[in-house]
Amino acid sequence: MEFIIKSGNPEKQRTACVIVGITESRKLTPEAKAIDQVSKKHLSNLIRRGDMDGKTGQSLVLYNVPGMLADRVLLVGCGRERDLDDIKYKKIIENSIKQLNETGASEAVSYLSQLPIKGRDIHWKVKQAVEISNECRYEFNEFKSKKNRDKKTIRKLVLTVPSRRELPTGEDAIKEGMGISKGVKLTRDLANRPANVCTPSHLALQAKQLAKSYKNLKVNILETQEMENLGMHSLLSVSAGSAEPPKLITLEYYNGEPGKKPIVLVGKGVTFDTGGISIKPSPAMDEMKYDMCGAASVLGVMCATAELGLPVNLVGVVPAVENMPSGTATKPGDIFTSMSGQTIEVLNTDAEGRLILCDAMTYSDRFNPDVVIDIATLTGACVIALGKYATGLLSNHSPLANDLISAGEYSNDRAWQLPLWEEYQSMIDSPFADMANIGGREAGTITAACFLSRFARKYRWAHLDIAGTAWLSGANKGATGRPVRMLMQYIINKSAK
């Protein structure tokens, strides 16, 4: 979808559809008022008759509005003006796109980007409108034999700003929003692909293609033998049962101050998680194709950062494996030595994410990182604790945690911090090795992070558990692209400093 920035009055727009807001109760926004005036009270008459009182979720398409050059006017309910916040804005933009798609309009001019949202400026409103509209229009039909090509949908959306003065700000916001949307789409596409297509080798190929598309991106893929030589026996213990060869993918992007320490992102890339010998129950096991959402978000962020040419040093590390049961698979009780030298007793082969992340985190040390952020669909416990709205966040450095929390708030892709207190560490004690890979039923998200923290002693580190946020189940099943928007905001904030 194409976005354009414009200023000017609604009645002057020669377009298929002009979109304006109505707030509660039965109040016209300034742009709706302008239409009301040229149409000799067409809108206020209609609203008085009770067709719309401005509740969020309501909408109304009007044809042949007197005095208007546009074919249609779409009224969108915005709720009470004083309640307009980030979440309401998202709903309003989504409603407007859904309603537009019900009409035959292929282009529109939206005035919703001028709604007064608490604490948000025009840059934020335009950028959010771009990202939300793109995400809302996303479809995954790579595997449908009939693509619904004939469906006419909106192709061009003009977002308006109050005056000519804001045009450059608006254009900037569109550029940023489009770059981020590209990353989000890549993340969702990769994650939605089935595990028979999206294998570790597939992820490696995708990384290579990214490096081909952007000259600033350098790719490196480690194969089994090289990982063995490095002593990554924890990572390799997870792929031991699979016919798919494991890959350790690295993408490097150095476009910031020379010599400045990079941000390193580590993404869990389990392309399918059966649980291994500690096999998972059958219901909904198909969803374990999403166990590479951390990896997909790292590739999405690398893509968006390169696309925007951000002045930052950034490295992405993706351990990619498949977790399968077989005669060669790891067994409960097996002990492995990780690349760090620490030994691990694998009590449950289904707690595999931490086993691949720990070696990737030790490996990350060679990039001399400023910070390391790992992203993983790590624990079912996180889904129980926080549900689908908040990503779990644990960190050994509170300024880093705070930076991520505020980036999440700004981008409406939020995280909530859980404690990483010393007391929890003893829960992963093992009688036979330096640590066990599970810590019992209690505090599952925290004990998983405790495990990872033992491989993060040399640097500032944060862990994002996206088990609840990376995809939706049920009727709307599919990858969300989270937390690409949060991470992009974190990187944008960092590169501005």
Residue 274 as a binder of ligand BES (CB under 6 A): the answer is no
Judged by CB, which is closer to ligand BES: 35, or 383? 383
| Cα(359)–Cα(418) distance, integer angstroms | 23
Residue 120 backbone dihedrals phi, psi, to 5 degrees: -115, 135
**Which listed range, 22-30, 33-41, 334-342, 351-359, lies at the site for ligand BES (CB under 6 A)?**
351-359
Interface pick for Zn ion out of 273, 322, 345, 359 (rule CB under 5 A): 273
| Active-site annotation holds for 280 | yes
Closest to 131 measured CA to CA, from 81, 188, 75, 74: 188
SS3 assignment, position 198 = coil
How far is Cα 344 from Cα 337, in angstroms, rounded to an integer?
Answer: 6
250: its two tokens: 């690295």
Rule CB under 6 A: which of 321-350 touch ligand BES? 348, 350
**In Å, how far from its chain's centre is CA 346?**
31
Catalytic member of 27, 80, 261, 280: 280
Catalytic residue among 72, 125, 354, 454: 354
Q: Give the relative orientation of helices 293-308 and 484-496 as an angle to the nearest 10 degrees.
A: 40
Identify any residues that bridge with 314 across adjacent strands, giving them in sequence order: 253, 263
109 binds, among ligand BES, Mn ion, Zn ion, none (CB under 5 to 8 A by kind): none
**Is 322 a residue that touches Zn ion (CB under 5 A)?**
no
Stretch 317-356: interaction string toward Mn ion, x if CB under 5 A: ---------------------------------x-x----
User: 3-state SS of the chain: helix, strand, coil percent to 5?
Assistant: 40, 20, 35
CA distance 444 to 465: 11
Closest contact distance (angstroms) between CB of 203 and ligand BES is 16
For residues 161 and 386, which CB has a smaller minimum distance to ligand BES in the complex?
A: 386
> Shortest Cβ distance from residue 270 to Zn ion (Å)?
5
Q: 116, 92 in Cβ contact below 8 A?
A: no
Residue 54 is classified by DSSP as -
Q: Is 465 in the site for Mn ion (CB under 5 A)?
A: no
Residue 380, interface with ligand BES (CB under 6 A)? Answer: yes
374, interface contact from Zn ion, ligand BES, Mn ion, none, CB < 5-8 Å by kind: none
> Taking CB within 5 to 8 Å according to partner kind, which of Zn ion, Mn ion, ligand BES, none is near residue 491?
none
CB-CB neighbours of 247 under 10 Å: 25
Chain residues binding Mn ion by CB under 5 A are 273, 350, 352
Residues that are catalytic: 280, 354
